């Protein structure tokens, strides 16, 4: 809500400066978003006289003007305006002046060979109107050399405040002044409303035909006959323009004035166009209204309308209809002052996408007690500006009395805020804000004023007192410290997430945070896109779905980096994924992508050989390093070839601790996925569900068994087996490791060969087996015995034949 300071002064007698007023507004909770002082902004613009205007020697549409701005010698200015002519009074800006509408600072220029030292200005350039057809034309008597803004009456700062939803009463100048006066900035001088005596019954009847009386508690209507509508007086037009409203005609301007002056939205009907009585009823489904904004709205039975024999004339509390709107030809006017249900108005406005000053106020709640005074004040304004004879007021329904008494112990202020204030001061604040206060001692009886429907209980009264007394008077108080040391507060999952971040970052992956919202296309490619994971109101079309995986976001990020000239990137993210809309469908996941040559050995070219494109083994190494860092034993982990459809079926694997305990996957991306998402590889990715990892062991410190170190040398033997190409090397190593558990302590693969020296469909896997003797040195016979067991186990469990 914004207002010029002069308007506030109608309601507040104060000698405080603009800065002090702005500061006080923020202090009482009416946060100032900006103060616009046009006089200060336009200080350099002066009224000037065009001494002469000659045609530019080198341009048909330009003129060379000599301008007197009151500073002495005439100034030469090149001007393109068609109305630049000798003798004109206009507005001049010298070099160095900032032009707000064009966001430029003027300098001395040469235009088509003629020097120009400044500018004659249009109303558009000064942000006064949209008119940029020519320079401003001022009357003959405008004083040359005077600041234009002061002469034009623009020296009235406009303050814009942000009003919180609970403070409906501060959406009118009277309410704002009340707060400021309570805070000690002056005295309220809002004029009292003098009723206008009616001169006879209102011939237009009003009937509330609603199944729920709360939708329209009261509806007042009055006819004013014989008015002469037309432009409103300059003071009113100026005020409306200053708050960003377009003056229309006196009757409409009066309703807008009342809206901002007293937070009392009104509607005016042209009585000549209303047929029969007014009925307040629910709209019928499908009924239409051409509203005053020129748009046609399709209504439904949840909405309340005001109708006559012609049909719907107005959408209650939101916007009037075009048909019965007032015009310059209006002679008889019906003034409506009504009360509506806040929630119903909000729903209607939201459903229709219709924003109006009336809706904004009715959905927050207006002062019910001002319904009739508002009618009287509007009538008086109509008579002052347009003349006419007023009927009696018709009132359908009744003005509700929401008076309630709150038992309020003054000690609540200290209990909740720590602030100790004298009772007199607290009482005075409540009274200044319009609360009725009765009783003495600590507990008093407080009746909130009719305009403060938001005040429900003791805590609200504490807020009223503290915001007016000054929240800066609340002194910060150290919290009492509990004894002993602070204990850890992180959950196991939080600890794992932190560890995962550090581990991955230390492996050279750069941490990213991407949006939890992705496009439907990406979601579907990664197993998502379910209806329950769609956003009701996405902020953009490509952010429509909750992500089922972190990979799509990381792929897009990797591609963006590649497009900017950084093709070799390794990124990771630790964040939430969503498999369903149930709480258990949400998981904490650590995922990474490696692109280009950004493998574990480092990217780019090197004298020792260029880095190779990323592969499944880079991301496999990431996953195992991650599990190790998280304290998850990989002994029981199963690596099952293949993974979700977005991974390359032959160069990927699923990591699990059993068929129902899948914890993630890693591999190169499927070419079809890359194509569908319009990203280019080489790309490898991994994803580990931290929420699904086996639980960490109990934290209590455990004593461990005595370390039995062998004092005999370990020895190793190499074996090469031929197996079917489809056999996983891991199965072979497991078979071998199990051949003699007392001696074999490690089995590792050191070579794999497929080619002409083995049969088609077969591969050779070379293993290094480490034997650790325990009580005596092994003899040749012992070693041969173990070797035989290894060959037998490999044959039995993996179909392997020792290569000879």
Partner 1 sequence: MIDKVANMGHLKWVLEEFCKAFFEVDSVKMRFRPSFFPFTEPSAEVDIQCSRKGGEIRFGEGDDWLEILGCGMVHPNVLRNCGIDPDEYQGFAWGMGIDRIAMLKYGMPDLRPFFEADVRWLEHYGFRPLDLPSLAGGLSS
Residue 199 or 414: the one with the smaller Cβ distance to partner 1 is 414
Shortest reach from residue 200's CB to partner 1, in Å: 46
Site track 569-598 with partner 1 (rule: CB under 8 A), x = hit: x-x---------------------------
471 binding partner 1? (CB under 8 A)? yes
User: Is 460 assigned a ligand-binding role in the annotation?
Assistant: yes
Instruction: With CA atoms as reference, report the closest residue to 68 among 54, 86, 81.
Output: 86
User: Is 464 assigned a ligand-binding role in the annotation?
Assistant: yes
DSSP category for residue 174: H
- Out of 132, 187, 415, 612, the only residue in the binding site for partner 1 (CB under 8 A) is 415
Q: Which residues pair with 308 in a beta bridge?
A: 311
Residue 61 or 564: the one with the smaller Cβ distance to partner 1 is 564
DSSP category for residue 331: -
Residue 566 or 753: the one with the smaller Cβ distance to partner 1 is 566
Query: Is-contact 372 220, C-beta < 8 A?
Result: yes
166 binding partner 1? (CB under 8 A)? yes
Contact set for partner 1, span 17-36 (CB under 8 A): 26-29, 31
479 binding partner 1? (CB under 8 A)? yes
How far from the centroid of its chain's Cα atoms is residue 68's Cα? 51
Query: Is-contact 367 451, C-beta < 8 A?
Result: yes
Alpha carbon distance 528, 520 (integer Å): 8
User: Is 454 assigned a ligand-binding role in the annotation?
Assistant: yes
> How far is the CA of 497 from the CAs of 132, 475, 484, 588, 630, in angstroms?
60, 38, 28, 8, 9
User: CB under 8 A: which stretch of 231-239, 262-270, 455-463, 691-699 binds partner 1?
Assistant: 455-463
Shortest reach from residue 1's CB to partner 1, in Å: 15
> How far is the CA of 601 from the CAs of 17, 57, 320, 618, 748, in angstroms?
68, 73, 72, 9, 21
> How far is the CA of 728 from the CAs of 648, 691, 749, in angstroms?
17, 28, 11
Pairing of strands 278-282, 206-209: parallel
What kind and span of H or E run contains 536?
A: none
- Residue ranges in 311-352 assigned as alpha helix (H): 342-352
457 binding partner 1? (CB under 8 A)? yes
- Out of 443, 505, 539, 710, the only residue in the binding site for partner 1 (CB under 8 A) is 505
The C-alpha angle 17, 18, 24, rounded to 5 degrees, equals 90
418 binding partner 1? (CB under 8 A)? yes
Residue 462 or 619: the one with the smaller Cβ distance to partner 1 is 462
Q: Residue 420: how many CB atoms within 10 A of its CB?
A: 10
Residues 6+ positions from 755 with CB-CB distance below 8 Å: none
- Out of 14, 229, 371, 417, the only residue in the binding site for partner 1 (CB under 8 A) is 417
Residues in the chain: 804
Site track 530-559 with partner 1 (rule: CB under 8 A), x = hit: ------------------------x--x--
625 binding partner 1? (CB under 8 A)? no
What kind and span of H or E run contains 281?
A: strand 278-282
754 binding partner 1? (CB under 8 A)? no
Shortest reach from residue 675's CB to partner 1, in Å: 22
Alpha carbon distance 130, 84 (integer Å): 18
Residue 414 or 445: the one with the smaller Cβ distance to partner 1 is 414
Shortest reach from residue 668's CB to partner 1, in Å: 21
User: CB under 8 A: which stretch of 67-75, 410-418, 630-638, 698-706 binds partner 1?
Assistant: 410-418
Alpha carbon distance 255, 272 (integer Å): 19
101 binding partner 1? (CB under 8 A)? no
User: CB under 8 A: which stretch of 36-44, 163-171, 220-228, 353-361 binds partner 1?
Assistant: 163-171
512 binding partner 1? (CB under 8 A)? yes
Shortest reach from residue 366's CB to partner 1, in Å: 18
701 binding partner 1? (CB under 8 A)? no
656 binding partner 1? (CB under 8 A)? no
CA within 13 Å, CB half, 585? 12
472 binding partner 1? (CB under 8 A)? yes
Alpha carbon distance 221, 361 (integer Å): 19
User: CB under 8 A: which stretch of 229-237, 381-389, 506-514, 663-671 binds partner 1?
Assistant: 506-514
Alpha carbon distance 294, 159 (integer Å): 30
- Angle between helices 173-182 and 250-262 in degrees, nearest 10: 30
- Out of 43, 245, 419, 432, the only residue in the binding site for partner 1 (CB under 8 A) is 419
Residues lying near partner 1 in the complex (CB under 8 A): 26-29, 31, 164-167, 414-419, 457-460, 462-463, 466-467, 471-472, 474-479, 486, 502, 505-506, 510-515, 554, 557, 560-561, 564, 566, 569, 571
Sequence ranges of the binding site for Mg(2+): 454, 460, 463-464
């Amino acid at each position: 809500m914004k207002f010029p300071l002069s308007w506030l002064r109608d309601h507040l007698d104060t000698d405080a400066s603009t800065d002090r007023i702005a500061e006080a507004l923020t202090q009482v909770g009416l946060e100032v978003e900006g103060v616009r002082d046009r006089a200060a902004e336009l200080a350099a613009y002066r009224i000037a006289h065009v001494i002469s205007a000659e045609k530019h020697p080198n341009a048909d549409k330009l003129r060379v003007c000599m301008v007197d701005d009151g500073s002495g010698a005439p100034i030469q200015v090149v001007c393109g305006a068609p109305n630049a002519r000798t003798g004109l009074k206009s507005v001049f800006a010298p070099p160095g002046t900032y032009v707000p509408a064009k966001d430029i600072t003027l300098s001395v220029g040469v235009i088509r060979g003629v020097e120009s030292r400044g500018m004659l200005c249009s109303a558009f350039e000064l942000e006064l109107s949209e008119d940029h057809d020519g320079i401003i034309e001022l009357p003959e008597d405008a004083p040359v050399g005077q600041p234009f803004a002061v002469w034009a009456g623009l020296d009235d700062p406009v303050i814009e405040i942000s009003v919180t939803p609970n403070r409906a009463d501060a959406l009118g100048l009277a309410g704002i002044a009340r707060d400021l006066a309570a805070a000690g900035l002056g005295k309220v001088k809002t004029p009292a409303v003098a009723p206008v005596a009616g001169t006879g019954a209102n011939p237009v009847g009003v009937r509330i035909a609603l199944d729920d009386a709360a939708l329209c508690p009261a509806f007042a209507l009055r006819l004013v006959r014989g008015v002469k509508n037309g432009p409103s007086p300059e003071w009113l037009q100026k005020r409306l323009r200053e708050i960003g409203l377009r003056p229309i005609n006196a009757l409409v301007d009066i309703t807008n004035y009342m809206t901002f002056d007293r937070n009392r939205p009104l509607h005016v009907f042209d009585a000549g166009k209303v047929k029969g009585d007014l009925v307040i009823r629910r709209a019928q489904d499908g009924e239409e209204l051409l509203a005053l904004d020129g748009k046609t709205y399709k209504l439904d039975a949840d909405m309340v309308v005001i109708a006559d024999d012609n049909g719907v004339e107005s959408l209650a509390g939101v916007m009037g209809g075009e048909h019965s709107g007032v015009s310059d030809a209006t002679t008889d006017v019906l003034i409506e002052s009504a009360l509506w249900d806040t929630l119903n108005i909000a729903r209607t406005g939201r459903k229709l996408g219709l924003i109006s000053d009336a809706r904004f106020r009715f959905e927050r709640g207006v002062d019910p007690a001002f319904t009739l005074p508002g009618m009287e004040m509007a009538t008086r304004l109509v008579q002052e500006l347009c003349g006419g004879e007023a009927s009696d007021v018709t009132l359908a329904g009744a003005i509700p009395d929401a008076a309630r008494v709150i038992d309020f112990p003054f000690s609540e202020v200290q209990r909740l805020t720590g602030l100790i204030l004298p009772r007199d001061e607290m009482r005075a604040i409540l009274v200044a804000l319009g609360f009725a206060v009765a009783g003495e001692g600590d507990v008093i009886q407080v009746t909130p004023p009719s305009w403060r429907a938001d005040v429900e209980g003791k805590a609200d009264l504490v807020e009223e007192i503290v915001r007016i007394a000054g929240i800066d008077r609340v002194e910060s108080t150290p919290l009492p410290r509990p004894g002993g040391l602070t204990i850890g507060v992180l959950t196991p999952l939080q600890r794992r997430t932190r560890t995962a971040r550090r581990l991955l970052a230390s492996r050279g992956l750069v941490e990213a945070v991407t949006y939890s919202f992705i496009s439907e296309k990406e979601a579907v490619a990664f197993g998502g896109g379910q209806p329950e994971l769609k956003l009701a109101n996405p902020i953009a079309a490509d952010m429509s779905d909750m992500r089922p995986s972190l990979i799509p976001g990381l792929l897009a990020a990797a591609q963006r980096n590649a497009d900017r000239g950084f093709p070799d990137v390794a990124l990771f993210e630790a964040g939430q994924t969503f498999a369903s809309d149930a709480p258990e469908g949400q998981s904490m996941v650590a995922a990474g992508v490696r692109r280009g040559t950004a493998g574990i050995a480092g990217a780019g070219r090197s004298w020792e050989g260029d880095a190779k494109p990323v592969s499944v083994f880079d991301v496999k190494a990431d996953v195992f390093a991650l599990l190790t860092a998280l304290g998850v034993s990989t002994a029981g982990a199963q690596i099952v070839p293949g993974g979700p459809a977005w991974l390359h079926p032959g160069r990927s694997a699923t990591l699990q601790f059993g068929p129902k305990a899948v914890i993630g996957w890693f591999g190169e991306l499927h070419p079809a996925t890359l194509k569908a998402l319009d990203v280019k590889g080489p790309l490898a990715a991994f994803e580990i569900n931290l929420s699904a990892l086996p639980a960490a062991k109990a934290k209590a410190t455990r004593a461990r068994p005595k370390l039995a170190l062998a004092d005999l040398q370990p020895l190793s033997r190499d074996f090469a087996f031929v197996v079917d190409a489809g056999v996983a090397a891991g199965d072979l190593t497991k078979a071998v490791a199990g051949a003699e558990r007392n001696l074999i302590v490690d089995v590792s693969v050191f070579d794999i060969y497929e080619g002409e020296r083995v049969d088609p469909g077969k591969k050779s896997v070379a293993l290094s087996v480490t034997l650790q003797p325990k009580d005596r040195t092994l003899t040749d016979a012992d070693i041969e015995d173990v070797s035989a067991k290894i060959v037998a186990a490999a044959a039995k469990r993996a179909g392997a034949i020792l290569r000879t």
